[in-house]
Amino acid sequence: MIPEISAEQATGKDWDVALVGSSFASMFYLLGLPASLSVLIIESGPVLSHQEILADNTDTSVDVAQNNRSGREKTWVKNSVFGGNSNCWWGQTPRFHPDDFETKSRFGIAEDWPIRYDDLEPFYSDVEQVMQISGGGDEHILRRTEPYPFPPHALSRSDAFLQEKDRVILEEDEPVIEWQGHSDYAYAGLAHAKDNLHSVFPVEVEALRTLWEPSSEAHIQGTTRMGGTNDNSVINHMLQTHEVPNVPCLGAGALPACSPANPTLTLSALSLRAARLDT
């Protein structure tokens, strides 16, 4: 159990590590640290159990400032509570494909990662053990050193690229989202998916209805991406900022290129790797 203390108590002692936020990235970084270190977790939201949130239908969402230049209405989902967005997580944990780490070299798109799939693979396995993931059948696609902790669930019947205009902006107060809309490439992909949905997912129903487009973004990535130098990135392969090495930036912001796979398992593995290799 993590004890809850006041801000006055926190400032009354020195800490080896301070983590800002308490969702997946911070917790797996904490897991990878030596137990001898003193760690402070700074969280703006309250500490609520899952039972309390369900029983009271607690709304932990907070408003997010934005400059919306897309011409489309946009809402943003942000939860301020201990555990962050892990409190409303759908539990999708696929690994990234090895090609996802080399999109520039293989496809001429986005940027290559400073690490490869094999560098992250042992940490994928460790995170899967902690999360107690169910799965199987991907051994011919992805190299694995450990099997899934649990077998796959029974199947039911149907189961952005960075652009020149993107900027990393520092503000002294509250962060403001700079939103200019999805790229033409993304909209073309959505249109192609809609046109081919029936052939990809043939089901015995009279009609399929698609809902386009989502009102928010579920997987925000690449805002503090990894790379080799200041010229093309904010942090290095250890998630450390280039100019201040003892300030790591954790989370999906580190991803240099997006994958079709959900990012939670990967960002957790990156945090675990960074903590273990840096201490």
pLDDT at 58: 63
- What secondary structure does DSSP assign to 9-61, as a single string? HHTTS--SEEEE--SHHHHHHHHHS-TTS-EEEE-SS----HHHHHHHT---B
Give the pLDDT confidence of 140-174 residue by residue, as tens digits.
889 999 999 999 988 665 455 666 776 777 766 77
pLDDT at 33: 97
Give the pLDDT confidence of 207-247 residue by residue, as tens digits.
767 666 666 667 788 889 999 998 889 999 999 999 998 99
Decide: helix, strand or coil at residue 251. coil
What is the Cα–Cα distance from 253 to 110, expressed in whole angstroms?
15
Give the pLDDT confidence of 249-261 residue by residue, as tens digits.
999 999 998 898 9
Contact 25, 250 (CB under 8 A): yes
Which carries the bigger pLDDT value, residue 170 or residue 90? 90
Quick one: pLDDT band at residue 126, thresholds 50, 70, 90? Answer: very high
Beta bridge partner(s), residue 176: 65
Question: What are the CA-CA distances from residue 102 to residues 105, 109, 225, 230 (Å)?
Answer: 5, 9, 14, 20
Task: Choose the weakest-confidence range: 17-31, 126-140, 152-166, 178-192.
Answer: 152-166
pLDDT at 26: 97
Q: Which CATH architecture has domain 7-278?
A: 3-Layer(bba) Sandwich (3.50)
- What secondary structure does DSSP assign to 152-195, as a single string? PPPP-S------TT------SSS-EEEE----HHHHHHHHHHHH
Contact 174, 67 (CB under 8 A): no
**What residue ranges do the domains of the chain occupy?**
7-278
The average pLDDT across 87-115 equals 92
- pTM, full prediction: 0.76
The average pLDDT across 171-197 equals 78
Contact 269, 116 (CB under 8 A): no
What is the Cα–Cα distance from 53 to 157, expressed in whole angstroms?
31
- One-letter amino acid for residue 152 of the chain: P
pLDDT at 250: 96
Share of the chain above pLDDT 90, in %: 47
Q: At what angle do helices 117-131 and 264-278 cross, to 10 degrees?
A: 110
